[in-house]
Amino acid sequence: MTLIKSISGIRGTIGGRVDDNLTPIDAVKFAAAYGTWLKQQRQKDNYIVVVGRDARISGEMIQNLVMNTLVGLGIHVIDLGLSTTPTVEIAVPLEQADGGIILTASHNPKEWNALKLLNAKGEFLNGAEGQKILEIAESNTMNFAEVDDLGKITINDAYIDIHIDEVLDLELVNVNAIKDANFKVVVDGVNSTGGIAIPLLLERLGVEPVKLYCDPTGHFPHNPEPLKEHLGDLAKAVVKEHADFGIVVDPDVDRLAFMDETGEMFGEEYTLVACADYVLSKTPGNTVSNMSSTRALRDVTEKHGGTYEASAVGEVNVVTLMKKNNVVIGGEGNGGIIYPNSHYGRDALVGVALFLSLLAEKKMKVSELRASYPNYFMSKKKIQLTPGLDVDGILSTMESNYSKEKLTTIDGVKIDFADSWVHLRKSNTEPIIRIYTEAPSQNAADTLADRFIAEIKTIANI
């Protein structure tokens, strides 16, 4: 069982001992630290925080703890109930709130939950802000409101519909072309809130949704990370239903992957590539993704006359570089689309609408679209961390061993070879070392990953 405290929030498994897991006491402590930090920053009479959750089993319990802790601090809460991460992100500025909290552990299994923290723009906190909240949590200096100054909870369950309205109003979303295409799409909502939001969006776009695991019970029918090895049922459904393609999202709907009409994965790395191709064809400019993302985005960006740059892993790092470079679209290779004309957050609803617009205008099958892009293959592997494992020392040794290659060390160690690369880094969200590789073939990518895993184990004596 695990509790991970980081600058991006607090994430852990439900049950167990205080400070070792995400227990009710831990949820209250970190919600109180966030509320205290918010009041220190804003210095005003009334404070508002938007709170929403994915459908995981512990969500209602954790949300009630968090909301009532904020009430105890004198902060008013807008309760979105079952929602998505991007929905909460757009709600914060629309409500003129001071911040937001999403209760979700993203792609982690059902025993996990987390507090994702937003600022007044509806964007994730930066490193310094996250560090300050961790310090407040450990200091136990939170000062709660007196009885006449308690906050109030207001329920607003309209925001998924509002979010869809915002998506349909985007200039590049070609609603008429999508409706004319008469698409049929299978949706795997992993029994979370994507099963609510994505079919509603498709229906508004005139697309026939075939629902698979769209009941928001929180009982995930398979590993909720949207990877090929978890999506056998979706592949069968796409073929059986003679659908144009399949859609799968993670539990909080900020990651998006497609499956072509034959039941083959489009590749989550290529979600951003395809959406960027469409946006860049209409509004030429620059792009950003993180260091663990495919080179194909660079290739597509340069094809349209733009410039590509990579950031450290983590949405806040991607967003920071996107703003600096004034990019037209960016995101993460894990299926995260960040479209500034909507908001600075990964948004599967925006990604679906842009992808459908591209497909409707090109009038081609999804498999044909995928074949039109540069062909790279990735391997994504990991090593479980054990107590006493010196990750920094391992990465430092790797950096030294490959000093003659092109290295980037802003986030772990990335080694660029002529026709491939490997990125080694400690995860922000799980107790693991990630080993990502990319090469001209799947076998080459897997072989490269296995080689580096063996080297790490030799260095660490494991």
Per-residue pLDDT tens digits for 183-211: 999 999 999 999 999 999 999 999 999 99
Q: Give the tens place of pLDDT for each residue, 41-75.
A: 877 889 999 999 999 999 999 999 999 999 999 99
Asked whether the domain spanning 377-460 has the same topology as the one spanning 163-371, the reply is: no
- CATH superfamily, with its number, for domain 377-460: Alpha-D-phosphohexomutase, C-terminal domain (3.30.310.50)
C-alpha span between 422 and 416 (Å, rounded): 7
Residue 248 amino acid letter = V
CB 312 within 8 A of CB 137: no
Domain boundaries, the chain: 3-156, 163-371, 377-460
Q: Which of 148, 145, 156 is nearest to 50 (CA)?
A: 156
At 1 the pLDDT is: 53
At 429 the pLDDT is: 72
End-to-end C-alpha distance for the chain, whole angstroms: 22
CB 147 within 8 A of CB 31: no
Q: Which of 265, 234, 229 is nearest to 367 (CA)?
A: 265
Q: Which two tokens stand for residue 132?
A: 């300050």
Task: Give the phi and the psi of residue 456 in degrees, each rounded to 5.
Answer: -65, -45
At 29 the pLDDT is: 96
User: For domain 163-371, which CATH number applies: 3.40.120.10, 1.10.150.120, 3.90.420.10, 1.20.1250.20?
Assistant: 3.40.120.10
User: How many helices and strands, by DSSP H and E, does the chain display?
Assistant: 15, 20
CB 300 within 8 A of CB 280: yes
Q: Is 106 a catalytic residue?
A: yes
CB 283 within 8 A of CB 277: no
0.75 exceeded by the pTM?
yes
DSSP one-letter code for 145:
P
User: For domain 3-156, which CATH number applies: 3.20.20.10, 3.20.20.70, 3.40.120.10, 2.40.110.10?
Assistant: 3.40.120.10
At 228 the pLDDT is: 87
Which pairing describes strands 287-290 and 329-332: parallel, antiparallel, or unpaired? parallel
Residue 435 amino acid letter = I
CB 251 within 8 A of CB 104: yes
Give me the catalytic one of 58, 106, 357, 379: 106
With a cut of 70, list the residues of the chain below it in pLDDT: 1, 7
Q: 175: number of CA atoms within 13 Å, CB side?
A: 14
Q: Locate the DSSP E strands across 166-265.
A: 184-188, 208-212, 245-249, 256-259
Task: Give the phi and the psi of residue 287 in degrees, each rounded to 5.
Answer: -135, 160
C-alpha span between 373 and 300 (Å, rounded): 8
CB 369 within 8 A of CB 293: no
